[in-house]
Amino acid sequence: MRIETKSTTPYEDQKPGTSGLRKKVRIFQQPNYAENFIQSVFDAVEGKAGALLVLGGDGRYHNRAVIQQAIRMAAANGFGKVMVGRGGILSTPAASNLIRYYGALGGLILSASHNPGGPDEDFGIKYNVANGGPAPEKVTDAIYARTRTITRWLTVDTPDVDLDRLGTGAVGGMTVEIVDPVADYAALMERLFDFDAIRAMAVGGFTMAFDAMSAVTGPYAHEIFEKRLGFAPGTVRNGTPLEDFGGHHPDPNLVHARALYDLMMGPDAPDFGAASDGDGDRNLIIGRGRFVTPSDSLAMLAANAHLAKGYAGGLKGIARSMPTSAAADRVAAALGIPCYETPTGWKFFGNLLDAGMATICGEESAGTGSDHVREKDGVWAVLLWLNILAARRISVDALARDHWARFGRNYYARHDYEGVEAAKADALMAELTAALPTLPDTRFGALAVAAADSFSYTDPVDGSISANQGLRVLFEGGSRVVFRLSGTGTQGATLRVYLERYEPAGGKLGEETPAMLADLVAAADAIAGIARHTGRMTPDVVT
């Protein structure tokens, strides 16, 4: 039976940003709110009749409720089948894989990624398209336009589906299949990586700590690392997805994954440490006594990827987001392959991957991935690291030093100023934008500005232009400061300041990062007036 319901709550619309719609749970719980957004997605996409929709989330508070709503609405909107991860669980990369593998029209992924979960925290809905990747701007624009005009949503009047029992059932004439969230993903990983070599290393005494941060990767990590690869029980920490992530931010950075960092820097450190975020698309890599910045991780993985069977044929190209350090560019140059610089957000990699122009992509925000899916992928990055270490038989620290000795080192940090009043953040960006033309040839201590601009990207595949993607100040010698406002926060504005200093091979390669970046930090404040505009003397988060 189909029911048409008039929307009664004014829809507080938001243009889906870098990762879909993110709001407080309480907002999503308002009558018609989630339904209006889901209906706007369904109204905006074509080809629903009889099509497959993939559905799952990171297990956070409110996940199961929205899954039930989405199943009923998919039935009323004419989908042929919905494939749901058991318990409503699917990591973002696993959902991307299912969409591609089973030829789905698209998928709804319920997550606010690294944002905290619980009744007073965040929820989110992302729509991914048939290539498995985040909806491109053309689609999110259509969804947004629909949210402005929507007057009804469609549903069927059926009981809840048992999300915990594997198998196939029906809802209002549509098939619903509950699938093991891990099985197809783990099989894909076995095709890409040499599990025998990694298992031999684990059995031979190589130890690991993987912190799933009480988020979605727990079941994946237990199955892959402990069961299939033979790492000791207990290797996976915080491996049960919790609705509130144990009260923590499931954000794998040096602040929120502090326990892992302290372990890896302490006397009892295992050989390898890693963590992933709420929805499993991010990764943090820390060797014994050696933190690897995500930008360096991308470069090091790209330089060694051919050692894994899935990449034995070499890479077609590398892509990185603009604020990510240029370490990967040097690897691309050495390999004789192109390196693309895209705006922040995984959706910009989709065309390059689909066109076979890039194989490996990465972002400074702890996201790395390849053409195996169309999302960044935390467990994949850990497995590629393990495969490389098994093949080269060296430590993370030795690999990093070897890399820098060859390519030079890009010292790097990101300073986040969170919950800034939106008007103040906008004023800072507007003032800096206006000042950009005056910056070249000015000096800040020893730093001379070589160029300054507002980053604009022209997609080499479809020619679409994305302007205003961050303000760049480039110094002579390859150092750089980038300013941008976050698109994923749910409270006020978050100002991100990205700091990078390049030391060539033969230069100062073994220094502490804060000391190496001190003059850039001072220059950033002088250039943008961070303290003057925001009243903040220090960042809230340094990663």
Binding site for ligand VG1 (CB under 6 A): 18-19, 113-114, 277, 281-282, 321, 344-346, 363, 365, 367, 486-488, 496
> How many Å apart are CA 510 and CA 478, to the nearest integer?
18
Chain-centroid distance, C-alpha 232? 28
Give the nearer residue to ligand VG1 in terms of CB position, either 123 or 444: 123
- Which of the listed partners (ligand VG1, Co ion, none) does 346 bind, with a CB threshold of 5 to 8 Å by partner kind? ligand VG1
- Which of the listed partners (ligand VG1, Co ion, none) does 68 bind, with a CB threshold of 5 to 8 Å by partner kind? none
- Which of the listed partners (Co ion, ligand VG1, none) does 226 bind, with a CB threshold of 5 to 8 Å by partner kind? none
Output the CA angle 150-155-156, nearest 5 degrees. Answer: 165
Q: Which amino acid is at 48?
A: K
Give the nearer residue to ligand VG1 in terms of CB position, either 270 or 278: 278
Active-site annotation holds for 91: no
User: What minimum distance in Å lies between the beta carbon of 4 and ligand VG1?
Assistant: 33
Strands 167-171 and 122-128 turn out to be unpaired
Q: Which amino acid is at 37?
A: F
Give the nearer residue to Co ion in terms of CB position, either 277 or 416: 277
HEC per residue, 213-250:
CCCCHHHHHHHHHHHHCCCCCCCEECCCCCCCHHHCCC
Burial label, 299 (beta-carbon count in 10 A; 0-12, 13-18, 19+):
buried
**Residue in 113, 321, 325, 479 annotated catalytic:** 113
Q: Radius of gyration over alpha carbons of the chain, in Å?
A: 23
Which residue's C-beta sits nearest to ligand VG1? 113
Q: Where do contacts with Co ion occur on this chain (CB under 5 A)?
A: 113, 277, 279, 281-282
User: What minimum distance in Å lies between the beta carbon of 150 and ligand VG1?
Assistant: 25
- Which of the listed partners (Co ion, ligand VG1, none) does 534 bind, with a CB threshold of 5 to 8 Å by partner kind? none
Q: Which residue has the tokens 């970046």?
A: 517
User: What minimum distance in Å lies between the beta carbon of 364 and ligand VG1?
Assistant: 7
User: What minimum distance in Å lies between the beta carbon of 486 and ligand VG1?
Assistant: 3
CB of 52 within 8 A of CB of 80?
yes
Give the nearer residue to Co ion in terms of CB position, either 281 or 416: 281
First to last CA, the chain: 52
- Which of the listed partners (ligand VG1, Co ion, none) does 181 bind, with a CB threshold of 5 to 8 Å by partner kind? none
User: What minimum distance in Å lies between the beta carbon of 454 and ligand VG1?
Assistant: 16
Half-sphere exposure for 458 (CA within 13 Å, toward CB): 2
Percent composition of the chain: helix, strand, coil (DSSP 3-state, to 5): 35, 25, 40
Give the nearer residue to ligand VG1 in terms of CB position, either 155 or 321: 321
> How many Å apart are CA 234 and CA 209, to the nearest integer?
8
- Which of the listed partners (ligand VG1, Co ion, none) does 488 bind, with a CB threshold of 5 to 8 Å by partner kind? ligand VG1
User: What minimum distance in Å lies between the beta carbon of 277 and Co ion?
Assistant: 4
**Coil vs helix vs strand at 406:** helix
Give the nearer residue to Co ion in terms of CB position, either 113 or 253: 113
Query: What residues act catalytically?
Result: 113
